[in-house]
Amino acid sequence: MSESIQSTQDMTPNPGSYDDGSELKSAYELPLDSLNPINPRLWSEHKWGECFERLRNEDPVHLNETELAGRFWSLSKYEDIKAVDSDWQNFSSAHGITLGFPVEQELPEGALDITTFIAQDPPDHDVQRRTVTGVVAPPNLALLEPLIRERTCKVLDSLPEKETFDWVDTVSIELTTLMLATLFDFPLEDRRKLTFWSDITFAVPEPGGLIESEEERREGFLDCLNYFSGLWQERLKKPGNDLVSMLAHGEDTKDMAPMHYLGNLLLLIVGGNDTTRNSMSGSVYALNKFPEQYDKLIASPELIPRMVSEVIRWQTPLAYMRRTANEDCEIGGKQIKKNDQILMWYASGNRDEDVFEHANELDIERPNSRQHLSFGFGIHRCMGNRLAELQLRILWEEILPRFERIVLQDEPTRTNSSFVNGYTNLPVKVIRK
C-alpha cells in the first residue's frame, strides 16, 4: 500500500438523523412530499412497504431535500431503477453508493476517506473488479461447494431440538462468516471480527446500539485496516488463492492507498456477509409467513433453486444503491439536476406489480423471479451473486432431509438501517425427522 492513513472524509450522513422519534404514521396519513424512505425506523419496524406502495402509485421519482444530504431522489419503479443502474455514463458511482453529503459540500474534518471499486466508474472500476472476481468464478465455486456443504451439515446437525434459538446468530452468521474467512484465508478463531466490521459499516449510532458514535465506527474501521494490513504483509511473502493475496499482488491493486484497501475490504465483507446471511434468515422467515409455499417446497425439493431466487427478490437484502447525476437530465418527467443523488430502491422495484404479479407474496414457482433487482444491473452487478445462490441452495438441500419444519417462534428483530434490509434476531425451533 502506497501511503499512510489520512482522515478527510466521511462515508455518509447519519440516516438516523432523519428520525424524530415520534410514532411512525401510515404513509397515507402524511403529505406526499414528506415521505422519506431513508428513515431507518421504516425498516427496523418493517413499515417500508406501504411507503413505497404509495410512491410507486403517486410519485415514482420522489424528491427529498435535507440539510445533511441536500437533494436526493427516490426511484421506486422497476424500469426506472433498471435504466439508471444500467447507465454508468450518466449516473455515476464515483461519489458513493449510499446516501452521502452533497457533492459540492466540504466534508467533515476527521472522518475517513474510504474508497471502493464499486464506488468508481470505468476504467478504474473494471480493472480492480477483475483482480478479485476469480475467487467467485464458476471453477472456484465448484472447488468450494464440498466445503460449503460440509460446514452446512455440521452447523445443522448441531442445532438444538425442542428449544428456541436465534437462527441469525447460530446459522446465518456462522455459515457466512465461515465462508468469508475462507475467501480471505482469515484466521477462523477471529472470524466474528468480520461480522462486527460488516455490521458497523452501516449501523446507525445510538445509545446501547452496536456503536454509539461515529468515533466508535472510525475506531472499528481502523482496527479492521490494521488487522488486514498484517495479512497483506503475510501474503506478500507467501501468496495464496485468496482475496487478500489477489489484492496484494494484482497489478492494478498492489499500490493502493490504505483507505482504498479498507474500502475494498469493507465492500467484500459486507457483500459476502450481510446479503447472504439476511437471505438465509429471510428464507426461513418467508417460508413461515407463507406456509403453503413451505409445503410445496417439502413436496418438491427440485424447486429449491427457484425458491432461492424468489426469496432474494422478496427479501431484497440491500434495500437501495445510490448514483449521482453527471448532468441535468429527466427521469419520469422530473427534472434532475447535475450532482443530485439518486437512490435506486431495489426493495421497491422488487415489489412492483407491473413486473411481479402479487409482488408482496412469496411464490416459489414465480416464472420471472430471476429478474429481481437485488443483484443490480450493468457493470456493478453483484460479483458474488452465484456464491450467494450456491450457499442458499446448499442450505436448503441439507435442511429438507433433516427437519420436518423450522418453526418461527416470534417476529424477528430487524436491522436498524435503511441500506441493509436484514435481521438481528430470528427465534425458531427445529423439528427433526
pLDDT for 328: 96
pLDDT for 119: 47
- 235, pLDDT greater than 60: yes
The three cell numbers locating residue 431: 423439528
pLDDT for 284: 98
Annotated domain spans of the chain? 15-432
Q: pLDDT by residue (tens digit) across 64-121?
A: 998 888 899 999 999 999 999 999 889 988 888 888 888 877 665 554 555 544 444 5
pLDDT for 125: 47
What's the pLDDT band for 179 if we cut at 50, 70, 90? confident
pLDDT for 19: 62
Specify the range with the lowest mean pLDDT, choosing from 13-17, 92-96, 198-202, 310-314: 13-17
The alpha carbon of 251 is separated from its chain's Cα centroid by a whole number of angstroms, namely 28
- 4, pLDDT greater than 50: no
pTM: 0.86
Question: What is the pLDDT of the chain when averaged over all its residues?
Answer: 86
The span from the CA of 347 to the CA of 258, in Å, is: 33
What's the pLDDT band for 200 if we cut at 50, 70, 90? confident
The span from the CA of 38 to the CA of 375, in Å, is: 20
53: amino acid identity, one letter: E
383: amino acid identity, one letter: M
pLDDT for 12: 56
Q: pLDDT by residue (tens digit) across 269-288?
A: 877 777 789 999 999 999 99
What's the pLDDT band for 16 if we cut at 50, 70, 90? low
pLDDT, average across residues 231-260: 84
pLDDT for 116: 47
Q: Are 116 and 264 in contact (CB under 8 A)?
A: yes
Q: pLDDT by residue (tens digit) across 306-335?
A: 999 999 999 999 999 999 999 999 999 999
Q: In CATH, which of 3.30.70.930, 4.10.520.10, 1.10.630.10, 3.40.50.970 is domain 15-432?
A: 1.10.630.10
Q: pLDDT by residue (tens digit) across 106-162?
A: 665 554 555 544 444 554 544 445 555 655 667 777 888 898 899 999 999 999 988
| Percent of the chain's residues with pLDDT above 70 | 86
Specify the range with the lowest mean pLDDT, choosing from 154-163, 175-184, 251-260, 289-298: 251-260
